[in-house]
Amino acid sequence: MPPRISLRQARKLPPRSAVWVRAQPQRRFASSSADAPDVYDVVCVGGGPAGLSLLTGLKASPITRGLKVALIEGQDLQKTRLPRDASLETFSNRCSSLTPASVRNLQEIGAWAHVNTPRVQPYQEMQVWDGVTDARISFDWHTAKPLLSPRNPAQPTTIAYMIENLNTVTALLSRLEQLGGVDFYTSTKVNSIDLGADTEKMDFSSWPILTLSNGKRLAARLLVGADGANSPVRTFADIESRGFDYGRHGVVASLKLAGQGWGGPDHKIAYQRFLPTGPIAMLPLPGNKSTLVWSTTPERAAKLKTLSQNDFVAMVNAGFRLSPTDLEYLHTLPSGQEEEVAWREEHTPVNERAIPMQVADVQAGTVVSFPLRMRHADTYTSERVALVGDAAHTIHPLAGQGLNQGQGDAAALVRTISHAVQTGQDIGSTLALESYTSERYAENNAMLGVCDKLHRLYSVESGPLVGLRSLGLRAVDAMGPLKALFMSRAAGGS
Amino acid sequence: MAKHVRISQLQKLTSRPCHLIHPSSPTASFRCFSVLNRPTPNYEGHLPLTRTERIGLALGSGLGSFLDPRRGDLIASFGEATAQPYFIYKLRDRMLLSPTGRRILRDRPRLSSTSLDIPRLRNLAPNTVGYAYAAWLDREGVSPDTRAAVKYIDDEECAYTMQRYRECHDFYHTLVGLPVFREGEVALKAFEFANTGLPMTGLAVFSAFTLKKAEWRRFWDIYGPWATRNGAQSDDVINIYWEEELETDIDQLRARLGIEKPPDLRAMRKAEREARKKEKEASETMARAAV
């Protein structure tokens, strides 16, 4: 029996007319009768950074340019686009840290030129410390260098680039429109995915057939699931995704700081403090803006969201300055955190230059939270199906690797498809797709494991482990070459 | 007598350099902390100690107070030398977790006979905390003004916590109704250790070994178990705002904190003394009768 799933949430939506951009004359495979599906080489479900990066990669390469591809996205991508002249006073609360490797990939596929550059903030230094013991490690390419040899001046000093996810998506979309040749089905849901039948004209029995909310039916030689953590494509392919909930929520917000940062506009610093409830991170955006990612318990996240703007600002400042004990008490107050934090700051000695500048304001309506999960699909491919990005894996945000992993997946899948095209294989066959899983699975799994262990290590509040982890952190901080190794791994290099 | 001289010499030795050589510039003192180069005090009366000095102070004052438990100054120094680096911070954090404890840290009230107005307390209703406190002071013949200022705790807030603990010590006596002689102090120290976790109070319990046989048995059977059970189960006594509780009913306060009052030690000792006397008399009568 063919697996069949129906998408309940899709039915709830009022039927909207699909935006269907037809950029090149459609080739006809089957007869034009109503029940025959349109046949595509690649159908990508999900127009997020990973899916768009995949399609752009396919269209940018001369080898795969000829493939017939379609994108299905539930939202109207034109509506959510970042305007070219968007004000630098407001920033989206969903930002990501793009590693140099991800940026290189975006440059190669020609999307980086479409990025709204004034809204991107490279940073050169990272300060990470233990909220219980204050043991600290700093990452910058000056202190992390091979033993006994001077730093190579040609080596870039940037650790990563802070960018709004919207900016990435808009740039990819612009590049994709420039390249052309993609059938966009936006504001369109997938109602169901079934296996096709053996018809007279063509044997679709191993092909996924998608029924869209606008009544269209598409047959996919390769169906790509870039449809997020609850991937319907993964469910269709019957791929198990294993993992657990962290019991933590990530609270994000767009913040305005008292100044440009301690390093000035040309040397930006990212900060992360490990609290027993989870890490709190402040990442630089252009000017005096910053973005917050605070992993904390669901109860505390809910409390933070109910606070007034002034109290929320005080809590963020407290998160980088005050003791875990004070934070525990502050979360029990219904209001008045601002005053309480001001008193505690008088009695808590901190080196102001080692922590982010005081937060001055929070952009209204940007305080939201989402649950943190760790999931990893058993495999990324099956017959005529491949998974990329969050559909394949979700990760704790403490190392800012989620979006970068998706970009890595997309680039690897483009390479796999292009190899299959070059060698004349069926791009949907498990054999052709095999190299994609083998290239990405172990690497993603290692990163998932490292972030998970770090989360566990720093959840401990007291005991000998606290002393040991502080000792280890200080030791790594003192060992330049080892630090350089970690940094290059986190930067997406090898 | 010789031992007292030695210990006071040690104290002088540890405290003299900080009086004489105060750092001239804070940057220089920051670089190298030694006997010759002390950092600036963090609060008035603060004497920063090096690690060696701290260990020396702990050993010296510990031994001194074990040999002569009436030396309150040595007990105070011992308490400060052993409370850092970990325990006093934990106690401060316990205060920070309680709304009242936070209020105490914010207001930083100091207890003295003038701030408490002892004559007024004597006129309160007999069931109040204030009356019981004044009565206890009169009965034991002590005054709240004999408490030394904290000087060896490095963090100013923790120094206040230590000061507060010390000044409230007499209130703990009142609360549990234990007298000041050795047997009562040991039981109260055991209670305080279970409640505050300060190492000095725990180590002071070891002086139970110096108790007389009958006292030791009482401690082992009655007061020791009472102290550990109540100290661990009741709310933190450091978080009581005594200045605001003076007119509270003392039994209500005990009930609120979850403290059972131990048997009256003075009464028990008296009863035992009388029993012994009677026994002696009885045996003497018996002996006479036998003759």
Residue to test with chain B: of A347, A348, A351, A462, most B Cβ within 10 A: A347
CB A340 within 8 A of CB A364: no
8 A C-beta contact, residue A369 and residue A250: yes
Distance CA A158, CA A398 (A): 19
pLDDT of residue B186: 86
Q: What average pLDDT does the segment A356-383 reach?
A: 95
The whole-number average pLDDT for the span B49-76 is: 86
Pairwise CA distance, residues A70 & A370, whole Å = 30
Chain B residues touching residue A325 (CB < 8 angstroms): 93, 96-97
* Cβ B182 vs Cβ B69: under 8 Å: yes
Query: In this structure, what is the dihedral angle of CA atoms B117, B120, B125, B129, given to the nearest 10 degrees?
Result: 0
Average pLDDT of A183-193? Answer: 94
- Calculate the average pLDDT of chain A: 89
Please state the separation of Cα B18 from the chain's center in Å: 27
Judged by CB atoms closer than 8 Å, whether chains meet at A323 and B93 is answered as: yes
Nearest CA to A492 among A226, A160, A165? A160
Does residue B288 fall inside a structural domain? no
pLDDT band at B94 (very low <50, low <70, confident <90, very high): very high
- pLDDT given for residue A153 in this prediction: 66
Task: Please tell me the distance from the alpha carbon of residue A118 to that of residue A75, in angstroms, as a whole number.
Answer: 26
Residue with tokens 């991170």: A281
Q: Model confidence at A154, in pLDDT bands (50, 70, 90)?
A: low
Looking at the domain assignment, is residue B106 inside a domain? no
- Looking at the structure of chain B, the number of domains it has is 1
- DSSP helix/strand/coil, B211: coil
DSSP characters over A384-430: TEEE-GGGTEE--GGGS-HHHHHHHHHHHHHHHHHHHHHTT--TTSH
Residue B167 in domain? yes
Whether A219 contacts A234, CB under 8 Å: no
Of residues A2 and A278, the one with the higher pLDDT is A278
Q: Report residue B121 as tokens.
A: 């307390």
Q: Which of helix, strand or coil describes residue B98? A: coil
What is the tens place of the pLDDT at every residue in A258-273? Answer: 999 999 999 999 999 9
CB atoms within 10 A of CB B211: 16
Confidence of residue A292 (pLDDT cuts 50, 70, 90): very high
Structure tokens of B208? 């139970």
Give the nearest partner residue to A329 out of B96, B106, B157, using CB atoms: B96
Whether the pLDDT of residue A325 is over 50: the answer is yes
Which chain B residues have a beta carbon less than 8 Å from that of A346?
Answer: none
Cβ-based neighbours of A266, under 8 Å, separated by 6 or more: none
Q: Taking CA atoms, what residue in B is nearest to A327?
A: B97
pLDDT at B21 over 80: no
The answer as to whether B258 is a domain residue is yes
Query: What percentage of residues in chain B have a pLDDT greater than 70?
Result: 88
Q: What is the pLDDT of residues B137-183, one digit of tens each?
A: 888 888 888 788 888 999 999 999 999 998 888 898 888 877 777 78
Residue of chain A with shortest Cα separation from B98: A329
Q: Alpha-carbon dihedral of residues A306, A308, A314, A318, nearest 10 degrees?
A: -10
Residue B172: which H helix or E strand, with range?
A: helix B156-176
Contact B279, B287 (CB under 8 A): no
- B17 pLDDT higher than 60: no
* CA distances in angstroms from B291 to A273, A431, B278, B281, B286, listed in the order given: 88, 116, 20, 15, 8
Residue B209 banded pLDDT, cuts 50, 70, 90: confident
Residue B76 within any structural domain of the chain = yes
Q: Give the distance from CA B52 to its chain's centroid.
A: 25
CB atoms within 10 A of CB A204: 20
d(CA A325, CA B96): 7
Instruction: Pick A4 or A436 by higher pLDDT.
Output: A436
Mutate to test the interface with A, among B46, B87, B88, B96 (most CBs of A within 10 A): B96
Cβ–Cβ contacts within 10 Å for residue A489, how many? 15
CA distance A335 to chain B (A): 14
Percent of chain A topping pLDDT 90: 78
Q: Which residue has the tokens 């009169």?
A: B138
Half-sphere exposure of B78 (CA within 13 A, CB side): 23
- Residues A356, A313: Cα–Cα separation, whole Å: 13
Classify residue B291: in a domain, yes or no: no
Confidence class of residue A16 from pLDDT cuts 50, 70 and 90? Answer: very low
User: What b/e string do you get for A247-278 counting C-beta neighbours within 10 Å, with b at 16 or more?
Assistant: ebbbbbbbbbbeebbbeeeeebbbbbbbbbbb
* Cis-peptide, bond into residue B41, ω within 30° of zero: no
Q: Which of A483, A491, A494, A490 is nearest to A145 (CA)?
A: A483
Residue B132 has pLDDT above 60, yes or no: yes
Q: pLDDT band at A151, cuts 50/70/90?
A: low
A11: confidence class by pLDDT, cuts 50, 70, 90 = very low
Say yes or no for a CB contact (<8 Å) between A325 and B106.
no
Residues of A with CB under 8 A from a CB of B: 323, 325-326, 328-329, 343, 347
- Higher local confidence (pLDDT), A280 or B267: A280
The B-side interface with A (CB below 8 A) comprises: 93, 96-97, 102, 105-106, 156-157
Task: Summarize the annotated binding site of B for Zn(2+) as residue ranges.
Answer: 169-170, 173, 185
Asked whether A285 and A163 are in contact (CB, 8 A), the reply is no
- Does the beta-carbon distance from B96 to A343 stay under 8 Å? no
Distances (CA, A) of A276 to A457, A461, A474, B142: 9, 6, 19, 46
Which domains does chain A show, CATH number per domain? 5-85+166-240+378-451 (3.50.50.60), 95-164+244-370+454-490 (3.30.9.10)
- Position A261, amino acid: G
Q: Are B111 and B217 in contact (CB under 8 A)?
A: no
Residues of chain A neighbouring B105 (CB-CB closer than 8 A): 347
A80 pLDDT band (50/70/90 cuts)? confident
Residue B178: domain span: 2-87+114-279
Q: Which of B97, B106, B157 sits opposite A328 (nearest CB)?
A: B97
Q: Which of A325, A343, A347 sits opposite B97 (nearest CB)?
A: A325
Question: How far is Cα B118 from Cα A366, in angstroms, rounded to an integer?
Answer: 57
